[in-house]
Homo-oligomer: A and B are copies of this chain.
Amino acid sequence: MPASKGREPGEASAGGAAAGRTRDQVVIGVDVGGTNIRAARVGSDGRVFQRFESPSPARDQEMMVDALVAVVAEAVAAGGGRGEVRAVGLGAAGYVLHETGVVMEAPNIAWRDVPLRSVVSERAGLAVFLDNDANAAAAGEHLFGVARGVDDFVYLTLGTGIGGGIFIDGKVYRGRRGTAAELGHVTVDPTGPVCGCGRRGCLEALASGTALEREAERLVALDPGSVLHGMSGGDSPGLEGEAVARAAEEGDRAALAAFEYVSLWLGIGIVNFIHVFDPELVVLGGGMARSGHLLLDSVRRSVAEHGIGSLVRDARIELSCLGGDAGVVGAAAMAWEGIG
């Protein structure tokens, strides 16, 4: 934190004196998703200096690696006089074997047993730290976000899917191989809707942004007078989560009901995690968390209703404050922690 305190991002390139060198050091944080590859130059205080983005050629393993390496190279080169790049942090969607740096498989990317850490490290000529994207985001919350100073917490990223990260004793908990914390694929209703993973009733199938949109579409059909109905054009061409959030803010009944549905299931999932982990804090991140208190209040209510009182009442539930940068900042946090 103190290194860059009080300096504006624009100033980072102004110094250039040897004495200022350590202040200008950055890592490249990369959020490797099935739709986009996002990167950023991030300071040791979590400050984002510059952002980079490329679409993901997710269907082709080679092209995907090439695109990733190209974004990293662009982010490294962009520095110029802006200081030294210390390392690269990669937060990748999918099952990551942490010790070997291999992406075993990813739901939306054509990756099978890709030794991503060594490939990117060789081609970029930098130390690379690789983890699952949700673990990385959790690391970001721990170093720079709402979980600063909290060593035992559960992190959920609520977007198209649901990812999870678990911190125990101040460290990411990865399990035997690195694939622990698949919190979106905990079954909470075995006869429920089909999940992206092909199974039924995963938390992700009931409480993700996708579930919110599905519920809103179902409910709007029952309520032609709703604001949402107007937004959707009336013939349900697919509602965006943000539109549902806006409509809910305006008091739209269908949108509010969709939020209640998702919050109810999210509460049940969080209760399970509290009963299992007895954490100090549960952090909600990802796109859906940006709907703020609309989500948070009803999730807290659901947890209080569904949990065993003496177990859940002291566990805090908070929203991430890292916003849209959570992915790149999380990947950067991993890199900063990795280089010590």
Q: How large is the interface on A (under 10, 10 to 19, 20 to 34, 35 or more residues)?
A: 35 or more
Q: Which of B168, B179, B276 is close to A278, meaning CB atoms less than 8 Å apart?
A: B179
Closest Cβ of chain B: how far from A47's Cβ, in Å?
31
Min CB gap A140→B, angstroms: 21
CA distance A162 to B182 in the complex (A): 23
* Contact between chains at A278 and B105 (CB < 8 Å): no
Pick out which of these stretches binds chain B: A1-9, A169-177, A223-231, A239-247. Answer: A169-177
Our pick among B182, B272, B276, B310 for the contact of A311 (Cβ within 8 Å) is B182
CA distance A186 to B190 in the complex (A): 13
A144 close to B (CB within 8 Å): no
Set B177, B181, B190: member contacting A268, Cβ < 8 A: B190
Known contacts A176-B152, A176-B280, A190-B268; is-contact A310 B105 (Cβ 8 Å): yes
Contact B187 A272 (CB under 8 A): yes
Known A-B contacts A180-B276, A182-B308; A190 and B189 likewise in contact (beta carbons under 8 Å): yes
Given that A168-B168, A176-B152, A308-B197 are known contacts, is A276 also in contact with B181, CB under 8 Å in the complex?
A: yes
Interface residues of A in 273-317 (CB under 8 A from B): 273, 275-280, 306, 308, 310-311, 314
B residues within 8 A CB of A306?
A: 187, 190, 199
Whether, in the assembled complex, A95 has its beta carbon less than 8 Å from a beta carbon of chain B, the answer is yes
Q: Does A124 contact B (CB under 8 A)?
A: no
Residue A221 CB within 8 A of the other chain: no
Smallest distance from the beta carbon of A39 to chain B beta carbons, Å? 28
Q: How many monomers of this protein are in the complex?
A: 2
Contact with B along A149-181 (1 / 0, CB 8 A): 000100000000000101010000111111111
CA of A278 to CA of B95, assembled, Å: 11
Knowing A168-B168, A190-B268 are in contact, say whether A276-B183 is a contact too (CB < 8 A).
yes
Residue A257 at the chain B interface, CB threshold 8 Å: no
Tell me, yes or no, whether A69 is within 8 Å of chain B by CB.
no
Q: A176: shortest Cβ distance to chain B, in Å?
A: 5
Q: Taking A188-B190, A190-B189 as contacts, is the C-beta distance between A175 and B277 under 8 angstroms?
A: yes
- Across the interface, name the chain B residue whose C-beta is closest to A264: B190
Docked CA distance A279–B174 (Å):
10
Considering only CB atoms, which chain B residue lies closest to A150 in the complex?
B176
The complex places the Cα of A60 from the Cα of B16 at a distance, in Å, of 75
Q: How far is the CA of A310 from the CA of B95 in the complex (A)?
A: 9
> A82 an interface residue at 8 Å Cβ cutoff?
no
Whole-angstrom distance between the alpha carbons of A104 and B309 in the complex? Answer: 12
Q: Which residues of B contact A166 (CB under 8 A)?
A: 276
- The 23 listed contacts between A and B (C-beta, < 8 Å) are A152-B176, A164-B276, A168-B173, A174-B278, A175-B277, A175-B278, A176-B278, A176-B280, A177-B278, A179-B310, A179-B311, A180-B276, A180-B277, A182-B276, A185-B308, A186-B272, A187-B268, A188-B188, A188-B190, A189-B189, A189-B190, A190-B268, A199-B308
Nearest 9 A/B pairs, CB to CB = A175-B278, A180-B278, A182-B275, A186-B272, A179-B278, A176-B278, A185-B275, A176-B280, A187-B268
